[in-house]
A = this chain, B = another copy of it.
Amino acid sequence: MPETLGFIGLGKLGSAIATNLLAAKFPLRVYNRTPEKAKSLIENGAVLSHTPQEAALPGGILISVVSDDRALQEISSEQVLSALGPGGLHVSMSTVSPETSRRLAEQHGRGGVSFLAAPVFGRPEAAAARKLWICNSGPADAKKRARPIFDAISQGIFDFGEDVGAANVVKLAGNFLLTAAIEAMAEASALAEKNGIPRADLLNMFTSTLFNCPIYANYGKRLIDADFENAGFTIPLILKDMRLVQQTAFQSQSPMPLANLFCDRYLTLLAKGKANLDASALALGAAEDAGLKW
């Protein structure tokens, strides 16, 4: 029988991952700030923890999928680290800054706990279908120990070495790339429509030829359908990621003019009261600038 896992963070992504771990026979001790979200997991055999530390077993594995650096910091409390203790492993799947991962790894290490950064690529639908991609970085033995967990929830794992912050940089770079794809499709679509060409004709051609890959196909379809309400990945979350890109770019002296533009696009959406829309609503910026209604 697989070992019991602690699991913290039952948002859309976390819930999908936890469900697949249960299906793969991992006994789970789950914690979420709003315990209602644990309901269906409990019905399927998970044990509800009332505090983060209750989810952690001595020398065990704790997985966290939380929304930002602050939440990750909060659940990495002294109580949680004491509960895990020597031989414990914290697998951090959240999208956070590389600096946070490096600082937490050091803090965990003082208590004999390993810290592995393992952010994932994939929207909640992909997580539910076990189609996530995982990039990890940190201690080699931690990666080896976490491998059966990753195999149960993903379609592939990429290793970025011993620097625990590296996987976070890669994750941020990936979210930046997908945002760039949306902005580029949006500007091209606006240009097409202002010239009498339906954006569906333009995007269907490109996403079936030169750009026939998941990001362009999925987000291209959202642009065509103006499907921005059905938010798997909301604007405050993607804006948080773009700010982490800017912050990491700043700290490493790597100017990123596109990232700056994307932050402004998302800020405008917030300013217009559209925080509940999907990340793909970035496209509304180029459309509205061109006087189009999507």
Residues of A that sit less than 8 Å from B by CB: 98, 121, 133, 135, 156, 158, 160-161, 163, 165-166, 169-170, 172-174, 176-178, 180-181, 183-185, 187-188, 190-192, 194-197, 201-202, 205-206, 209-216, 245, 248-249, 252-259, 261, 286, 289-291
Cα–Cα distance between A201 and B174 once the two chains are bound (Å): 13
Most buried by B among A187, A216, A254, A261: A254
Given A183-B258, A187-B257, A192 and B173 contact (CB-CB distance below 8 Å): yes
Q: Count identical subunits in the complex.
A: 2
A193 to chain B: closest CB distance in Å?
8
A-B contact pairs, 14 of them (CB 8 A): A156-B209, A169-B191, A170-B202, A176-B184, A181-B181, A184-B258, A187-B259, A190-B256, A191-B245, A194-B253, A209-B214, A211-B213, A213-B216, A255-B286
B196, A177: Cβ atoms under 8 Å?
no
Cα–Cα distance between A199 and B181 once the two chains are bound (Å): 19
B196, A173: Cβ atoms under 8 Å?
no
